[in-house]
Amino acid sequence: MKITFRARNVIEAPTLGFIAAVGLITQTLTLGEDTSDHLLEEHVVVANRTEVPIGKAGSSIEILTSVDFEPLKQSFLLEALRLVPGFYLRNNGGPGQSFGITTRGLNTNRPVVLIDGIEVSNPASGEIINFGTLFLSQIERVEILKGSNSTIYGADALAGVISISSKVGKGEPGSSLDLMAGSQGTNQIGASTWGESGDWNYRVAVSSYDSEGFSVQPADFGEAWADDDLYRNLNGSINIGYDISDTSSLRFLGYYVDSKAEFDPGNPDFIFGEAFADNYTLTEQLFGKVGLNFEPGESWASTLSLGYNHTDSFSMSSFPFTSQGERYEADWLNTVHISDTYRLVAGLEYEDEEHLSDTGQRDETSLFLENLLNLNSALAITLGGRFDDNSAYGEETTYRGTFSYDLKDSENLALRTRGSFGTSFQAPTFFHLFSFFGNPLVKPESGWGLDLGLEGTVQNGPTSFALTYFDYKVKDKIIYDFARNSFINQETYESSGLETMAKVQIHRSLSLQFSHTYAHAEYEDGTEAERVPRNLYSAQLNWQYPEKKWGIHLSHHWVGSQYSLRRDKEKMPAYGTANFAVTYAFREGMDIWLRIDNLFDSEYQEVRDYNTPGLSVYSGWNFRF
């Protein structure tokens, strides 16, 4: 395997300007009010499947919590993830429509998405869950692991992992009621209740969203395109925990999603026959998990879990399509503290998937080991390997390594470098293998990825910054071969670039965050990859009045020009959108808010021929009692 570092003009003028700005802001902060507090170091689980200080994780990590979500006043996780460095999210219309994601220039390699440890991709189609179906009000934390991570998460982790943790019911009993109404005939209501009694704790939540929507495609295409396309979503969850003893606990989780999204017939130049006017997709998802945490020994923590995912999707159009599948999972995860400087993480996993609406069944047994070593106070490394045996596409072996090294650690400045390298694969779907166009000889896409980063924190927290170089190579890309009328493995795909981020706590009540991602992706024949903007920018400003009566959020997201389809002759134009939200708290547990999306009424498309909403206004009430 040959690893080539390809700068390819990665550091453009905007990035150089950003780096200079970080230095300027850092200097000016020393002249202002002392905003530093004693900060406990945050821990992360997704990096190694066991808790580690984020300052010792060699992998590239992003963390979002309910504290980050609250100022946005958005309904769905979709909007919060748009601001993550390296992420480009796109919809064929608004929330609930067909969804896609590009991570660090990887346009078809979807990340693994877990909700409380349950893999929630569609078992039949392999499609990533639509983040426009997941309500922010039910989410406590999102940990994002970037890079090639099949070693600890198996197939499809080539593009990373998004681990979502729902809210739990520990603490004082309480309830909430959230109401919202706004543009496009939109209304939302959500309610939850939680608490604990003795050794039990619980949380139950339900949310409903209903919008008349807008015309997903240009109305001048014809009469069948001119109507508004509604989106409706009903979502419920239950989370119950029981503390068996001081060292063991049991948890049950269940989720239900029922949605309907109307869409338009598509570009009339590519429609065969008369346009079908009544187009919609019905999606029903049910997934859950039972997990047992216990300690077999003094230095040994273990988790046994059983998971289930059933997804049923039906699209009504001139070509009706059904995708129904289910997945069973069984995991045994272990963390052993061998010494103060060495931990071993080991897992045994079994998965069974079945395509219920078409031909297809497969099962997989996996074993992985991860070694965590703190060689001294400054240097931490991990080394791991994994073996997967799948009944449909055979055996796969992957490995990875990470490091973190503290360059400086003082009261005024913490500076470290980190890096990761891993091999990964993405499994073929049932459609690739067993459909009318399928080919049972199709093998997984394989590849490797690396990133190298520099991170710093100034003044014990008020200013932090990060720069990360990334490089990926994907081999055996699965494509459709028209000559053979089936899928084959053929091409090689490469992506490299740079992520930069800075966060400044200007004052106790005012923070500013900025990020930029440059990505260059191409196929082996030199053609530039589709749906990969060269540049992505985002900026956020959050202001909280000292007495916390008022709160203001302002964000701007800018997406560079890109090709919508491979071999397009013209790129889609660049665009930028801004969102604004203001909150007023009448008293503790009750506030009212106003949100304006697309503040400057920008006209843009995320996917060619698919509209996006113009300036939209929403308001709501939040009650906690």
pLDDT of 8 higher than 50: no
Give the Cα separation of 329 and 501 in Å (integer): 37
In a domain, 4, yes or no: no
Residue 2 lies in a domain: no
Contact 348, 367 (CB under 8 A): yes
Is residue 6 one of the residues assigned to a domain? no
Higher per-residue confidence, 494 vs 491: 494
Q: Is the pLDDT of residue 624 over 90?
A: yes
The answer, yes or no, to whether residue 11 has pLDDT greater than 50, is no
In a domain, 442, yes or no: yes
Q: How far apart are CA 169 and CA 205, in angstroms?
A: 11
Position 13 pLDDT exceeds 50: no
174 part of a folded domain: yes
Out of 23-27, 368-372, 606-610, pick the least confident: 23-27
**pLDDT for the residue 447:** 93
Residue 446 contacts residue 424 (beta carbons within 8 Å): yes
The mean pLDDT of the chain is: 90
Asked if 132 and 96 touch (Cβ cutoff 8 Å), the reply is yes
Least confident of 43-52, 253-262, 359-368, 457-466: 457-466
Average of pLDDT values for 514-542?
Answer: 95
Instruction: Report the CATH number at residue 209.
Output: 2.40.170.20
More confident residue, 267 or 148: 148
The amino acid that residue 431 corresponds to is F
Return the amino acid letter for 164: I
Q: Give yes or no for a contact between 133 and 76, defined as CB atoms under 8 angstroms apart.
A: yes
**Looking at the 3D structure of the chain, how many domains does it have?**
1
Specify if 3 maps to a domain: no
What is the per-residue pLDDT for 67? 92
Contact 435, 429 (CB under 8 A): no
Q: Which of residues 567 and 343 earns the better pLDDT score?
A: 343
Residues 443/404, Cβ–Cβ less than 8 Å: no
Return the bridge partners of 532, or none. none
Domain span including residue 429: 13-624
Pick the residue with more confidence: 148 or 223? 148
If one counts every other C-beta atom within 10 angstroms of the C-beta of residue 400, the result is: 27
Assess contact for 614 and 598: CB atoms under 8 A.
yes
pLDDT higher than threshold 90 for residue 496: yes
Per-residue pLDDT for 336 more than 80? Answer: yes
Q: How far apart are CA 548 and CA 303, in angstroms?
A: 41
Does residue 24 carry a pLDDT above 70? no
547-561, pLDDT tens digit by residue?
778 999 999 999 999
Residues 111 and 91: their CA atoms lie apart, in Å, by 17
Residue 106 lies in a domain: yes
Tokens (6 digits) for 118 = 């349950």
**Residue 265 binned pLDDT confidence (cut-offs 50, 70, 90):** confident
Contacts of residue 155, defined as CB under 8 A and 6 or more positions apart, other chains included, come to: 364, 388, 390, 396, 425, 426, 427, 444
Residue 451 lies in a domain: yes
Q: How many Å separate Cα 593 from the centre of its chain?
A: 26
Burial class (CB in 10 A: 0-12, 13-18, 19+), 541: middle
Looking at the chain, the whole-number percentage of residues with pLDDT higher than 90 is 74
Burial (CB count within 10 angstroms: exposed 0-12, middle 13-18, buried 19+), residue 7 = exposed
Q: What is the pLDDT of residue 35?
A: 39
d(C-alpha 121, C-alpha 131), whole Å:
11
